Structure 1
Amino acid sequence: MIAAALAAALVTAQAAAPAKIERVAEFTGAMPTGVTVSEDGRIFVNFPRWGDDVPFTVAELRNGKPVAYPDAAFNREAADPAKGLISVQSVVADGRGRVWILDTAAPGFAAPKAGGAKLVAVDLETNRIVKTVVFPSNVILSTTYVNDMRFDFRVGSEGVAYVTDSSIKGPGALIVLDLATGKALRRLSGHASTSPAPGFVATIHGKPLAATGPDGKPQPFNVAADGIALSPDGETLYFCALSSRTLYAVPTRLLRDPNATDADIAQAVRNLGDKGASDGLEADAKGNVYGGDYEHDALRKLAPGGTWTTIAQGPDMSWPDTLSVGPDGYLYVIANQLHRQAGFNGGKDLRQKPYRLLRVKID
């Protein structure tokens, strides 16, 4: 009994020990938001067009420097909005030799350009575009801002994408996109789980986070469904609003079922409790769920059936944004100082370059 107790205490202590935060790359230009690591270790990042000078909205890191991907030409808006990248919010390598690009078509959080919100797949061997899926108009509102995505290729003939709508002006939602047919369903639109938490105010280093309104006065910073993660078996989708500290989960079979109503889905949503305020989420093959904690410069982990623990924390982790599990046993994260933008600080840009790509070992 004593030996067992000592062993359990040791395991607990080891689990609680903070991971070393390693710097992978630094960015001295535009502010990045997304990162993904392919199965062969290639790293891709993206830079949404939010006001910075953005020469390319998607890049591959080569020798530690961002290079336009798949090329410079495709990173420029085309006459046909489906033929060029407008403003990319997220990139995800699918483990099948492709990297997927999520184009919001909404630079500066404007209304998305008609026919511009899309998913683009690039073949990693040839670096050529092999598929473009434009979101149908039934799921893209004038207020929609598609934010992050996860894929499951075990369902449908070509798989399905789950995408968050992190609107700052309208209802949040989950979007389910069939990659073969291009048909999509908008789920939990305006539901409490995809909406900013009532009365939520983030506090970072003792300062409440508020946007500067048109009249120059502070106004609440309300962002809907943002972070998203998929369980290893594909049966559960985890998600959260950026302006919230709560993690939610829902069965994916209901999200995909065209006969399931939003009322049916809402009844199946599970509240998994307080995780801290997160921008990005991620899950690994063991069923652990990870989330940033942007109020505390930290990364947190939820073990299967367990509780949240802080796995890394430090000043480098200034606004942890997108998370990505690499093939090398590391969790990669973009730290972009989002809260230091001029819009949150009376018109003064307090960001201090460089922005950083970091990683922590998660076995």
Structure 2
Amino acid sequence: MKNISFLLILITSVMSIKAQNTAGETEVFATTAQAVGNITFTDTGNLVYSHHPFFSPENRVMIMDAKTKESKPFPNKAWNTPRTTDDNYLSNVLGIRNDENGIVWMLDMAQRDNVTPKIVGWNTKTNQLERIYYLPKSSVPKHSQPNDMVVDTKNGYFIIADEGIGNGGDGTNAAFIIVDMKTGKTRRLLEGTRTTLPENTPTVINGKHLAVNGKDLLVGNDGITADANFDYIYYGPLNGTKIYRIKTLDLVNEDLTETELDGKIETYSEKPNNGGMSIDTAGNIYLTALETNSVAVVLAKDKSAKTMVKDSNMVWPDGVSYNHVDGYMYVSAAQVNRGAVFNDGKDVSTKPFYIFRFKPIVKGVSFR
């Protein structure tokens, strides 16, 4: 009887711990030795992920075998090795996306080396370079920080969210960058406007403000995704209370003035301070809630924001992406708030770094 009572207490304790850690069914898919930024997938479901650039990793992008959990540099070691002879290598990458053609697109902010920012496309079917799109200074000025993007193969554009915090920027230059897939032409839009600017909603984690030299870091246009048909772009500043949306064809329409463009933006829903953003086929939007170790979901049926999954080890959940092979949403825990820049020059992050996964409400949208 005593043993049975002890067993019941043990089971109850375990259930209590799980309840405290998770709001939904989530699991640790893998752990890594370095911080993971964003995640995408190959046709076969292997994970391609960026090492978060805040930690100055040796290898910028990695690929993990979904079965063995073994990782190696992606697309190879040479592309992760800086050199002076050319700039066909990855400097620092956060945003990373796949498309239906088997191409993984990597958004290189190029802030660690004196090279041109660019989008590098690697064809995972042929294992060779597909194309490089260079981003000129007119589209990526001094305080630019191109963070994440939508790869819109239907309309033929890369749509990039620029946080506006590069090289000491304070978010006031946050914007969109539009790249024409056919011509490579780039344009910078809606810089420092009402929906790309951060709000005065500082990031506070465990009572501590995310600050640099005692000043709250306020981050502009950040999370971005598109619906299943590329009809709408959903986005918002990291530090902000709203998700906005705009018709894709309006956003890329060169005939619209900035004022006309701003007038076509809708306020879609409330949100917490968030990083990455994804969507499912029913229009439910998943976003990483940085301050609460969780992934939130904005329900399409009523636009209410709920906690989807939560875990005590989900410290600074960053990218969230759907794997079309196994039907799971994947989310990284990058521990950015524990990096040296936010802790008086001392890196207080702890190994391991986690990659979680969970089942979305309905089937996710694969290629965004």
How does the TM-score come out when normalised to structure 2? 0.85
The one-letter code of the counterpart of 1:346 is D
Aligned pairs (5 A) from 1:217-296: 218-296=214-292
2:311 paired with 1:300:
no
Amino acid across the alignment from 2:191: S
- 1:40 CA drift (Å): 2.1
Q: Does 1:181 align with 2:186?
A: no
What per-residue deviation string (whole Å, max 9, x for no partner) do you get for residues 62-121 of structure 1? 3313201111011122436541111111211112211111101012xxxx845x211111
Give the corresponding residue for 1:101.
Answer: 106
Q: Is 1:321 matched with 2:321? A: no
User: Which AA in structure 2 matches 1:24?
Assistant: F
1:87 aligns with 2:92: yes
Matched residue SS, 1:295: helix
Q: What is the rounded CA distance, in whole Å, between the counterparts of 1:192 and 1:102 in structure 2? A: 25
Aligned residue in 1 for 2:64: 61
Residue 18 of structure 1 and its aligned partner are, at CA, apart by 3.3
Structure 1 stretch displaced more, 72-81 or 142-151:
72-81
Given that residues 97 and 150 in structure 2 are in contact (C-alpha distance below 8 angstroms), is that contact kept between their aligned partners in structure 1?
A: yes
SS at match of 1:285: coil
Q: Which amino acid aligns with 1:31?
A: A
- What is the SS of the residue equivalent to 1:74? helix
Contact 2:54 2:336 in 1 (8 A): no
Task: Read off the aligned partner of 2:206 and give its amino acid letter.
Answer: H
In the alignment, the residues of structure 2 paired with residue 344 and residue 279 of structure 1 have an alpha-carbon distance, to the nearest angstrom, of: 17
Task: Give the number of equivalent residue pairs.
Answer: 331
Q: Deviations over 1:98-157 (max 9, x none)?
A: 1111101012xxxx845x2111111112221111111133211111111101112112xx
> Which 10-residue stretch deviates more, 223-232 or 340-349?
340-349
Matches of 1:238 and 1:131, distance apart in 2 = 26
Aligned 8 A contact 2:240 2:271 in 1: no
Unaligned 5+ segments in structure 2 are 1-21, 363-368
Q: Which residue of 2 aligns with 1:201?
A: 202
Instruction: Show the counterpart of 2:150.
Output: 150
For 1:276 and 1:286, the matched residues in 2 are separated by 21
**Partner SS state of residue 28, structure 2:** strand
Distance, in Å, in 1 between the alignment partners of 2:99 and 2:85 is: 26
Residues 1:102 and 1:190: Cα distance change in structure 2 (over 3 Å): same
Secondary structure of the equivalent of 2:250?
helix
Partner SS state of residue 50, structure 1: helix
Aligned counterparts of 1:48 and 1:83: Cα–Cα separation in 2: 20
Contact preservation (8 Å) 2:35, 2:55: no
| 1:261 to 1:339, Cα distance in 2 relative to 1, 3 A | same
Q: What is the distance in 1 between the residues matched to 2:190 and 2:31?
A: 37
- Cα distance change on mapping 1:81 and 1:227 into 2, 3 Å: farther
Query: Is the 1:91–1:99 contact (alpha carbons within 8 Å) kept by the matching residues of 2?
Result: yes
Per the alignment, residue 140 of structure 1 pairs with 140
Match of 1:163 among 143, 160, 182: 160
